[in-house]
Amino acid sequence: MKTAKMILDRDYRIGKVDDRLFGSFIEHLGRAVYGGIYEPGHPLADELGFRTDVIEAVKNLGVPVVRYPGGNFVSGFRWEDSVGPAAERPRRLDLAWFTTETNEVGLHEFAAWAEKVGAEVMYAVNLGTRGPEQARDVVEYANHRGGSALSDRRIANGRREPFDIRLWCLGNEMDGPWQMGQKTAVEYGRTANEAAKMMKWVDPTIEVVACGSSSSEMPTFGDWELTMLNECYDNIDYVSLHRYYGNPTGDTAGFLARTMDMDDFIHTMGSICDAVKGKKHSKKQVQLSFDEWNVWYHSNEQDREIWKREKWDRALPLLEDVYNFEDALLVGSMLITLLRNADRVRIACLAQLVNVIAPIMTRSGGGCWAQTIYYPFLHASRYGRGTALRAVVDSPVYDCRDYEGVPVIDAAAVLGDDGGVTVFCVNRDLAEDCMLALDLRSFGDLRMRDHLLLHHDDVKAVNTEADPRQVCPSSLPTAAVDGGRAQIRLPALSWNVLRFERA
């Protein structure tokens, strides 16, 4: 058996974990909206047509913020299509996903759904085919109290009180050639700056997120940020990061090491923001919004086939990745990476939430179940709030194709507001358990309350509607805390949540 050591000290803090680190994303894509959150006629639909089983599954995750309505979709979206009497809303071709958008669900309906699940809306404006004028218009429609044409239209459409949307994305992945209205970094930086200025003139209390590179693998990553931030630094609050990983070759050790890249991406992005800050002699710190992250690759081939057969249908079953156990481990490591960078990453959105690369799946007319990745997200959202601690970890390491010195034990720790401590660990070792020696002496008297475990002997095991609990958490016996020290066995290939409370 391997051994590792971790020292935690209540005074060695990374920073407060922003609750919005546990955000998610619903795009008008595939069956996320239609057949996902919204299915009038389903036996469990509520008076607005929203599935109550999905609402319960989302509420259980405690998602505080949901990005909406896209994604690539937003870059061709006309927000006005999505308000007013539903029967009069236009059907439009969506060039992002080659489907037809019916606009049955729009801003009012989505805001009502978000209220039901207890989340705030993070609204993306279209800076692809549209520009600053339509962006400021939707802020006025959503957030102005009334007495102007657009805010009065909202009131006439049934919503007297402003929606009070606090967080706005200035477009989506504007560096990508797949994006409608792709821009150069200068074009985007200028557009984002003008949009941000005008949106904030309408409502000075909002915060805005500028598009960083759509992945650290983009050839323009770095240059894009330096150039666009040079144009808009003073008027924006966050820069976005997006990253998806896959394991098409079946190399589990290499796949589980991918958070080395994620960590690097965050540090590089933070450094670039600070370089622009320095160049501009600014006192303002731009923070990071990791507003798309997940595993995404299982459905790629299937999607190509769907488009060959059924292009332009409504709610095509796109991006329906079926997640296995190793995906849950990587998602756990991605959450650990976010927590370890909680001083810089203030917002993060698991992409996405229902049916589309999602922790929650539904069958239209049928059931709703949790995919494997649901569980690490649930645990992190439930027990990862408080203050992130700087864990000192001494772990064995391994080498794989892309990285050297990958720690076998990937870990983060959080001090809760109640004085309890939670340690999240992934044991990346394919074969060996690891005995973790945990030093908690600085916290005074603690006792171990829980050891939650996610493990399956088969890394390819999945949950399905028929067998929804194939991969689900269990509890291990708790270890004794003796003089502030504990010895905890972490099984090979496992996600662990070690919860300690004041004795």
CA-to-CA distance for 503 and 488, rounded, in angstroms? 18
> Which residue, 352 or 427, has its beta carbon nearer to ligand AHR?
352
Catalytic residue among 27, 39, 101, 292: 292
List contacts with ligand AHR (CB under 6 A): 27, 70-72, 172-173, 214, 292, 351-352
Structural contact between residues 342 and 15, judged by C-beta atoms closer than 8 angstroms: yes
Please list, in sequence order, all residues whose beta carbon lies within 8 angstroms of the beta carbon of residue 374, skipping any fewer than 6 positions away.
57, 61, 359, 360
109 assigned to active site: no
| Single-letter residue type at 307 | W
Catalytic residue among 80, 173, 320, 326: 173
> Which residue, 27 or 410, has its beta carbon nearer to ligand AHR?
27
CB of 240: closest distance to ligand AHR in angstroms? 9
Structural contact between residues 410 and 333, judged by C-beta atoms closer than 8 angstroms: yes
> Which residue, 244 or 403, has its beta carbon nearer to ligand AHR?
244
> Which residue, 97 or 383, has its beta carbon nearer to ligand AHR?
97
> Which residue, 236 or 351, has its beta carbon nearer to ligand AHR?
351
> Which residue, 245 or 383, has its beta carbon nearer to ligand AHR?
245
CB of 144: closest distance to ligand AHR in angstroms? 28
301 assigned to active site: no
Burial 456-487 (b: 16+ CB within 10 A, else e): beebeebbeeeebeebebeebebbebeeeebe
CB of 232: closest distance to ligand AHR in angstroms? 19
CA-to-CA distance for 401 and 261, rounded, in angstroms? 13
Backbone φ, ψ for residue 463 (5° rounding): -100, 140
Helix (H) or strand (E) holding 202: helix 185-202
> Which residue, 98 or 398, has its beta carbon nearer to ligand AHR?
98
Structural contact between residues 343 and 18, judged by C-beta atoms closer than 8 angstroms: no
Structural contact between residues 388 and 379, judged by C-beta atoms closer than 8 angstroms: no
Q: Is 336 left (phi over 0), alpha (psi -120 to 50) or beta?
A: alpha
CB of 334: closest distance to ligand AHR in angstroms? 15
CB of 22: closest distance to ligand AHR in angstroms? 17
> Which residue, 351 or 488, has its beta carbon nearer to ligand AHR?
351
What is Dmax (Cα atoms) for the chain?
70
Residue 328's SS3 state is helix
Name the residue number minimizing CB distance to ligand AHR.
71
CB of 24: closest distance to ligand AHR in angstroms? 11
Angle, CA of 367, 369 and 375, to the nearest 5°: 170
Please list, in sequence order, all residues whose beta carbon lies within 8 angstroms of the beta carbon of residue 393, skipping any fewer than 6 positions away.
4, 5, 6, 407, 409, 411
Q: Which residues does residue 290 pair with via DSSP β-bridges, in sequence order? A: 348
| Single-letter residue type at 362 | T
Give the E-state strand segments of 96-218 in sequence order.
99-101, 120-125, 167-170, 207-210
Q: Which residues are catalytic?
A: 173, 292
